[in-house]
A and B are shown apart, each in its own frame.
Chain A
């Protein structure tokens, strides 16, 4: 009797195995990059570019093989379904870490794209997003000569495994989703250009409102933005001291802000402390008084950050989360509406404290 029951259980387990929908790895196409562009055609507005990895026995630079599939479709999900009939294997987004949105589409509306991505269960919430210039297709088609595995050049640029650049702004799907919905915290995306056929430049940020791009930051502003928003703090900075150019490397940087209300004025006070060493400096700097340098650098820093903050505010966006902080500090339902009135008139104050730690290896 007991044996019979056990055998029966085993039979049931084995019998249901056939019901599994598992597909072997060699029957799958791993998507390593997805680009979504605006096609310009009203009926089929989305141009979807998929970069598919082709397994290759060789692991060496430039040996990665990819296949591209491009389609214009009335919606993204339909396009993907249609693309399945173009290829012989099952499409799998489970390893796709890079999603590019074309510049023209990002100028119109990115919400349908994000909505589609968040609904799919196999797209990771930690996938990186960026805006491609002039369009996602061109950027995806760059064949980086340094690439080891299909699609890994772009991924390394954004992950913290490979290059750590102070110009790269990394945004994940769940992070972007949060910023798209949150009152008082606006989204931003990195901006990728291809300079020629073999590499990328990622040194700009597109600041957005809840729907589309509002303004672009220049590379210098991008670096400053990354520092102020605590996204990436290891960076370098230029300054002038009595006519001689100096370059300093920032070892550590802490920034914080608070919102003060004095009489009928709202002041956003931003405090930045940084520890720096000289990278390029006039000789003899070791014996000179560092305090003068520190003051000069602090004032410079205050001036440029103030200009950036003002510029971002004029565009009517808030990627730093000032509004969220105001909502956190002020109770009640009306605080968000209050903030929307206060923000355009708010005044900025930046206090920077630069501390020189050394002059490098030479005096």
Chain B
């Protein structure tokens, strides 16, 4: 079952390869990103170890179940509701940005709302399924897309245009003090473990998290790739001009004998899949969190009949996402996303420490 944990981790890492994380990191390339890249794996790894060891003391329980067991109903509902909003927001930024991206690159004449609505319908439908189904969908789609992501990354690294001098220049700024916004963005790569807040329900009793040393290594490699590959291909200065840095980076390479010459289209399709998968799991988690605040029986992980409440909650999510799209433009979306990244860092630390303390108390009691 350890591989399901890895999928969750990899999904968040790969997802952030392209959108806001590199944008924020590159924005701060001269004032603190490189030092943040060094610190982020440490922070990420500590949080990951704390959270996984805490969660393994609560077999078959998710974060909402833990809170509900301990605290009065009104209090736990409030906390869990807050987390549900965080989870929901995490994917809203991504999917709205992706809808705008499709509008920019595929079809500038189409209405962004229509595109977004289509994406939301697909994700929303997938998110209403049972937790187990969502996990399987995640596995299948990630396995299908991972080879393409690796292909794109290797192709970029081995390209003749790749300039190691530029990478070296950027890495020289390691002496600068880390910057909060860059640190928040860099730690986001390591955030995949937080999905265990819900999916721990699926884990069998006596489950052990194994091979945890892989995650820092994997995360750090993704982090280096997301920051240095665009710099190697665009240089230290030009890299700051682009709004969709990874899309432009993919476009500056050519697949001479591929079916489609422009690597951009392969890239966009692969990341469309990832965006949909990411939104699906994030919404599924947010939905389950909301459900655990409602009165009801024990949560099921593999229900055959989908409860109506699932549809209702997801419908509310869709409506609010469309409303968000209506209210913000492209630039504001990026700005809010970078604020959200900072907020997330603190909320995440709070959640991890909280659960960790609760798990120690539980051990003392038994």
Contacts and interface: CB of A to CB of B under 8 A. Distances in A.
Interface string A169-186: 000111101111111010
A257 to B, nearest CB: 11
Contact of B234 (A160, A174, A183, A331): A174
A126 B108 contact: no
A327 interface: yes
A268 interface: no
Contacts of B234: 174, 177-178
B110 A20 contact: yes
B121 A9 contact: yes
B253 A126 contact: yes
A20 B118 CA distance: 12
B158 interface: no
Given A125-B248, A181-B241, A182-B236, A21 B172 contact: no
Contact of A124 (B117, B118, B236, B262): B262
Contacts of B237: 178, 181-183
A118 B254 CA distance: 17
B252 interface: yes
Interface string B290-327: 00000000000000000000000000000000000000
Given A21-B110, A182-B235, A325-B165, A126 B118 contact: no
Interface string B116-128: 0110010000000
Interface in A6-25: 9, 12-13, 16, 19-22
Given A121-B108, A174-B251, A327-B169, A126 B262 contact: yes
B238 interface: yes
A342 to B, nearest CB: 16
A179 B235 contact: yes
Nearest to B110: A21
Given A126-B253, A182-B236, A175 B107 contact: no
A118 B175 CA distance: 33
A328 B172 contact: yes
B208 interface: no
A160 B160 CA distance: 14
Contact of A331 (B175, B236, B251, B256): B175
8 contacts: A126-B251, A126-B252, A126-B253, A160-B256, A178-B234, A182-B235, A182-B237, A327-B169
